[in-house]
Amino acid sequence: MRKRNPNAAERPAVFREPGALLYAGNCQDLLEASRAGMVTLNAWTRRGYPGLDLGSALPQVCSVGGWDATQPQDWGLREHCNEGVKIAYIARGALTVTMDGQRRILTEGQMFVVRPWQLHALGDPNVGASQIVWVLLDMGVRRPHETWLWPDWISWPERDRKRLTELLSKNEQISYVAARDVARSFMDIADVVATGDIEGSEARLGLLISMMLLQFMQMLETQAPVLDLALASSKRTVKIFLKRLRHALDEEWTLENMAAECNLSRTQFTQHCLLLTNMTPVRFLQMIRLEAASEMLGAGQSTVTQIAYDCGFSSSQYFATCYKKRFGFSPLETPHKRRALADYASS
């Protein structure tokens, strides 16, 4: 029986939930701070996000509302992914946003967009004094190449839905300076949510969100952004998966479930993997498992058996055979070999 890596729950894995630091569970610190009176949280939500339960109102809204922190906080939202597309506005103060490894300090009047596949953190590491307003919409996508599905209550012509999808999926600029009408709409959204009257305000809030999105689209159009088709391609989906695979090595991966993780056929997935790595998926997986094991062995982090399981090998014997074939010496010899190489390099 394979032992589960105790650190697996901390990993930013891939596109779905097993063992990954994804989705609403990352908001616990915000919820506790709100209960302690450190921050004012007003949000209408579903699926475990903190706030008032939306029930059947405004389908596809995961969370809408915001926080108001009048003083620096002792919490931050560590690296995670969202279940939808998040569009947020900095109404007051400043917020450090780290997205796909890029760090930005956003200030009053700026806004940012996060897509479901983008790993991001809020705070440095803690959140400072700030008021943030957001809309988080589940567009039915978790991967860059999937088709966006807008809520029925956003009753736009199809050409406008398609255009906003293009502007948001093929352009991943992190931050923007909000136009005046966009900023006003965000504050109107915050005011409605603060009433707590979901039943009486559903229609009005739906119209405000729709208006904000329309104004945001018009704002983006004035900037004439250069769209990159590759950002919304299946090849990019596989590229993200392969990068994050290093954080999920103890999953029982097969060609079939790696392809399924990317929502692609085995043939499509294999072709993209060959183009990106010049290796088949199974060979690439074994390579990074062995590289990770070598680093862990060199650092003396654990026993050979535990490292074998943590890196996804079904038995320590099979691991030792693969390891020696790859590096020319056994796992037990690794610390000695590494010390010898270090001594040679320094001499």
Q: Using one digit for the tens of pLDDT, what is the confidence trace for 249-266? A: 988 899 999 998 899 999
Determine the average pLDDT of the residues in 171-193.
Answer: 97
Determine the average pLDDT of the residues in 289-301.
Answer: 91
pLDDT band at 24 (very low <50, low <70, confident <90, very high): very low
pLDDT at position 50 is 92
Alpha carbon of 98 to those of 92, 104, 170, 202: distances in Å? 19, 6, 20, 32
pLDDT at position 78 is 87
Compute the distance between CA of residue 9 and CA of residue 271 in angstroms, rounded to an integer: 30
pLDDT at position 165 is 97
Alpha-carbon dihedral sign for residues 316, 320, 321, 327 = positive
pLDDT at position 112 is 97
- Beta-carbon contacts of 18 under 8 Å, excluding residues fewer than 6 positions away, are 251
Q: Which of 202, 197, 214, 201 is nearest to 155 (CA)?
A: 214
- The ranges of the chain annotated as CATH 1.10.10.60 are 233-346
pLDDT at position 79 is 84
pLDDT at position 282 is 96
Query: Does the model's pTM come out above 0.85?
Result: yes
Helix (H) or strand (E) holding 28: helix 28-35
Query: Which of 246-250, 270-274, 334-338 comes out lowest in average pLDDT?
Result: 334-338
DSSP-derived secondary structure letter, 50: S
pLDDT at position 344 is 46
What single letter denotes the amino acid at residue 324? K
Greatest Cα pair distance, the chain, in angstroms, is 77
Tens-place pLDDT, residues 305-340: 999 999 999 999 999 999 999 999 999 988 776 665
Mean pLDDT over each residue of the chain, to the nearest integer: 90
Q: Which of 80, 78, 82, 29 is nearest to 60 (CA)?
A: 82
Compute the distance between CA of residue 15 and CA of residue 2 in angstroms, rounded to an integer: 23
**How many CB atoms neighbour CB 158 within 10 A?**
8
- The ranges of the chain annotated as CATH 2.60.120.10 are 8-230
* Phi, psi (rounded to 5 degrees) for 215: -65, -40
Tens-place pLDDT, residues 137-171: 999 998 999 999 999 999 999 999 999 999 999 99
Which is the CATH superfamily of the domain at 233-346? Homeodomain-like (1.10.10.60)
pLDDT band at 343 (very low <50, low <70, confident <90, very high): low
Assign 68 to helix, strand or coil.
strand
Helix segments in 179-280, DSSP class H:
180-195, 198-222, 234-244, 255-261, 266-277
* Length of the chain, in residues: 347
Compute the distance between CA of residue 88 and CA of residue 147 in angstroms, rounded to an integer: 22
pLDDT band at 30 (very low <50, low <70, confident <90, very high): very high
Chain-centroid distance of CA 70 in Å reads 27
pLDDT band at 5 (very low <50, low <70, confident <90, very high): very low
Percentage above 70 pLDDT, the chain: 89
Tens-place pLDDT, residues 51-101: 999 999 999 999 999 999 999 999 999 888 888 999 999 999 999 999 988
CATH topology classification for 8-230 = Jelly Rolls (2.60.120)
Percentage above 90 pLDDT, the chain: 77
